[in-house]
Structures are given as structure tokens and as C-alpha cells.
Amino acid sequence: MAAAVSLIPELDDIVRNGTPARRARAIGRLSELFLEGAASFGTQHVALFDEILLGLIPATPVDIRADLAVRLAALVNAPPTLVKQFAHDGEIRIAGPILSLSPLLDDPTLIEIASRKGQEHLAAISGRPQLSMPLTDVIVRRGDRDVVRSVAANAGARFSDNGYSGLVRRAVDDGMLAVAVGRRGDLPAPVLKRLLAESVDMVRRRLFESATPAQKTAINQAMLELSGAPKAGLVRRDFTAARRTIVAMKRAGELDEAALFDFARQHKYEEAIAAVAMLSGMELAAVNRLMLGERPDPILILGKSLGFAWATVCALIVLRLGPGKGASPATIEEARINYERLSPATAQRVLAFWRLRDAGGRS
């Protein structure tokens, strides 16, 4: 510290009359002195360096200030006033290291900066080791796509109900954000459920594929709750009108896979089942029983035997769950793989057996 005190007379002249070059050299000497003894400096020593450096900083080149910011960013006993000044700096090369790492910045300071500064400053804050709920509320509200993805992927960030609602709302149009939110280990079950309800099947599949075993269990549970899985015998359906509609379409030459797909996509269950029965040559009641089974395998066999595209088969799998519901990513992916592997010849043999069985039951 004696070396620093001996510099003060010279520094007084540099502060008042020094050129940028002289200021830069003085800052370099002082920063080296500070870093060498930082671990042993007390409050008064730190305050002295704080005062001296604050006097030198004005009119100092950006590169010098940015280098000093990097040196001070992670120090617990860095000069506090200088650190706060750097954190507010409009030049991200100066503010960024401090905003990302400095343990001296309290929540009110970070919230103030996050509320006023631009996206580069928000991005730096979003990567801090710990982020409070009030702070993430501001980041989620003001951040652009990259910033919000960054904070969602930060394991040290904590989110309020409002923060999570904002993430889910923005994840509707951002699959990468949806996956980042879904991977969080602290994600509450109700938020996961809302996220899955708002996500398309492709995002659900990606989320499931990248999840830990515990997260996969949570996803499956959430999807089960969302789907309201059907239970055979609880729903009584009247197929009379649907049968007449399908017969009329058949006579008019309008019954084909496209028509079936439309029925399934619109969750017109009775019409879709009647259409499958007509196209497959099976009894309507038999098709209905197959649809209500615990696994989608019979739907895969029907689809493959009739040459349906996967989109049509997937629509039929989802159909039995009801409007606004969805099968779990695991169920859909498993069904897709099995459908690709299923041979048309095998499916047609099974369909032929089903038809014979139906005919025997009617005789």
C-alpha cells in the first residue's frame, strides 16, 4: 500500500492535467498493485484505490477501461463505486464483464440496469450465476429472443409465477425456448403442463428426447393429465347419423383418405370411425373397439393395410383423446417408429383375419 500512497502526488497532476496515455499508464500501475494485494486489503485500502481510480477513469480510452473491468469483475473486494460505475456504462465491453460476474452488484442495481439498458446488457445479466425472481421478471419482459433463451437455460435463475407465464407465452412461437424451459430441473408441474399444452408435437418430441429419466416421467404424467385418457365403456356413442353420412359420401365417390383425415383432425369421432369401417370393410362396432384399446397398434395396422400416410394415422391416434388433448411425445414417437417398421403385407393379413372374425361373429 505504501507504493500506492507514494503515487498520490503524481496522480494529482495526472488527474488534473494528464493525457490519456499518462492516465492509462497510471491505471495500469495501480491495477497491478491492487490485484497483487487484493486478498489482504481492508475496507480503507479498497476505498483508497476506489477514489484514485475514479479520478483517473474520465477521458481514459475504452480499451483501458474494458481491460480494467475484466480484471475487477470477479473480485469480492473490488473497488465498489468503480464497479457500479462500470456496470452502468453504455459500452458493453466495459459493463459486460461486471454485469456477468461481479458479486458486488445487488438486486436493486441489477434490476435498474435491466429495466433501462439494451439487449447486450440484458444478455450479460442473464448469464450471472444467480438470478432472483424480481430480476428474471424484468429480463423475461424486456429481453429479446436470445436473451430469454439464455435466462431460461440458466440453472441459477429463479422464476416467479409471472416469469414462468411469460416464458410459456413466448415459447409458443419459439421451439428452442420451449425446450430450454422444459429442461429446467426446478420447473413446477403446472408450468410443465401449460408448456406441453401450448407446444406442437415436434417440440414435445424434442423435449422428451433430451429429458432426464425423472423429467420424462414428469412429461408423461403431464401428458396423461392433458389427454384425459379415454376409458372404454364410459362414453356411449350414436353412429346412426355418421353412418348415413359416410354411405352417402361413398355413393358420391367422395370417401377417401383425405376425407377421413379431415374428420379426424376436426375430432368428428363418429364420422371418422364410420369412414374407417367403410374403407376397411370392417364392422363399425369392431373399429370402435379397436380405437378404444390401450395401445395404438390396431390403428397402425388399419392405417398400414389401407396405405394411409403417417399424418392420417397420427390424427386417428390423437382423435380418441378428444378436442384440445394430445398424446405424450413418447407414445407418438413409438407409434411412428412402429408404423414405419410395419410391413403392408403383415398389416393386410391381420386385417383379413379381423374381417373373417367379424363375418364369423355375424353368422
Query: Among candidates 308, 291, 304, 320, which has minimal Cα distance to 257?
Result: 308
Mean pLDDT comparison of 33-42, 192-201, 277-286, highest-scoring range: 277-286
Instruction: Look at residue 26 and tell me whether its pLDDT is greater than 80.
Output: no
CB of 322 closer than 8 Å to CB of 276: no
CA 90 to chain centre: 30
Percent of the chain at pLDDT > 90 equals: 43
Q: Has this prediction a pTM greater than 0.85? A: no
Reported as a single tens digit per residue, the pLDDT across 72-120 is: 898 888 889 989 999 999 999 999 999 999 999 999 999 999 999 999 9
Residue 267 near residue 322, CB atoms below 8 Å = yes
Helix (H) or strand (E) holding 1: none
Instruction: Report d(CA 169, CA 278) in Å as an integer.
Output: 42
The residue assigned the cell 414435445 is 204
Answer for the pair 52, 11: CB distance below 8 angstroms, yes or no: yes
Distance between alpha carbon 280 and the CA centroid of its chain, in Å? 42
Q: Of 8-17, 43-52, 196-205, 268-277, where does mean pLDDT reach its minimum?
A: 8-17
Q: Look at 110 and 71; give whichever has higher pLDDT.
A: 110
What is the average pLDDT across 277-296? 86
- CB-count burial class (<10 Å; 0-12, 13-18, 19+) for 81: middle
Distant-in-sequence, close-in-space partners of 216: CB < 8 Å, separation ≥ 6:
208, 330
Confidence of residue 281 (pLDDT cuts 50, 70, 90): very high
Report the chain's C-alpha Rg in angstroms.
33
57 or 260, which is more confident: 260
Give the model's confidence band at 38: pLDDT under 50 very low, under 70 low, under 90 confident, else very high: low
Distances, alpha carbon 326 to alpha carbons 64, 286, 299, 316, 320, in Å: 57, 24, 16, 11, 10
Average pLDDT for 158-162: 93
Confidence of residue 2 (pLDDT cuts 50, 70, 90): very low
5 has pLDDT over 50? no
DSSP secondary structure of 71-85: HHTT-TTS-HHHHHH
Q: Report the candidate in 17, 47, 20 with the shortest Cα–Cα distance to residue 34.
A: 47
Contacts of 232 (CB under 8 A, 6+ apart): 289, 292, 293
Nearest to 146 by CA among 172, 122, 129, 112: 122
Cα–Cα distance between 11 and 33 in angstroms, integer?
A: 14
Instruction: Specify the 3-state DSSP secondary structure of 183.
Output: coil
Contact 260, 279 (CB under 8 A): yes
Which range scores top for mean pLDDT: 21-35, 54-68, 323-337?
54-68
Cβ–Cβ contacts within 10 Å for residue 54, how many? 14
pLDDT of residue 37: 60
Q: What is the pLDDT of residue 232?
A: 40
Mean pLDDT of the chain: 83
Task: Answer with the residue of higher pLDDT: 103 or 60.
Answer: 103
Q: Cβ distance 120 to 148 under 8 Å?
A: no
pLDDT tens readout for residues 116-153: 999 999 999 999 999 999 999 999 999 999 999 999 99
47 pLDDT higher than 90? no
State residue 196 phi and psi, 5-degree precision. -65, -35
For residue 221, what pLDDT band results from cuts at 50, 70 and 90?
Answer: confident
3 pLDDT band, cuts 50/70/90, is very low
Report pLDDT for 354: 84
Whether pLDDT at 228 is above 60: no
